[in-house]
Structure 1
Amino acid sequence: MLATLKREKIVSQEKTTYMEVLGTNRIIYRVTSTKVTRDGNESTTYGIEAETRLGPVRFKETIEDFSADVGFAVKFAEFLVKNNIKPSLIYNAALCFLRKTI
């Protein structure tokens, strides 16, 4: 049996920072806003970034389309700050957060 996978074309236009928080662990957490065009329909999605700087070296992880609701994205950013989540662990934290909220 053969199956074909059809993907939607998603075009991101511009990205702006909605909120930025410096945690006690010196990690910068950001909620970003992006306008996305899917099949001609424009919508806004909110993403999450976590960035740490150790001298000249930067470690950054991003979930570009975390939610379409800004309140949900801000709650997740607060969850990251409260639990001192490192950038490399934001995907695991997202799964944990979604498991608790859904």
Structure 2
Amino acid sequence: MKKTLFIFLLLAFAINVKAQNPTLKSITLGKKISSQCVACHGDNGISVIEEAPNLAGQKELYIWNQLRDYKSGKRQNEMMTIIAKNLTDDEMKDVAAYYGQFKITVVPPK
């Protein structure tokens, strides 16, 4: 019984770690899909318009959850709802992987 439980927990952990580590393929696909995002969120996730948030520095899981919420109607924004409804779950994960790779560094003012 203990051996079965150990194997189950080990597999569950391995699957969870895999789900949290985006592949290069996922990031590459996300970059292609993000061509419809850059007008507002910028090439590297730094917003080019005041109304759109920066995506750089956001966690991949956060971005994916927001896209799912727009698609389901849980979160409301006319433009984002239209975009999210046209994405599959895998495409949302790819976009999240792409933007989630960008890190920002906060530099304190001098």
Bigger fraction of residues in strand = 1
- TM-score, with normalisation over the residues of structure 1? 0.27
The structure having more radius of gyration, on CA atoms, is 2
Structure with larger RCO (C-alpha < 8 A, sep 6+): 2
Structure showing the higher helix proportion among its residues? 2
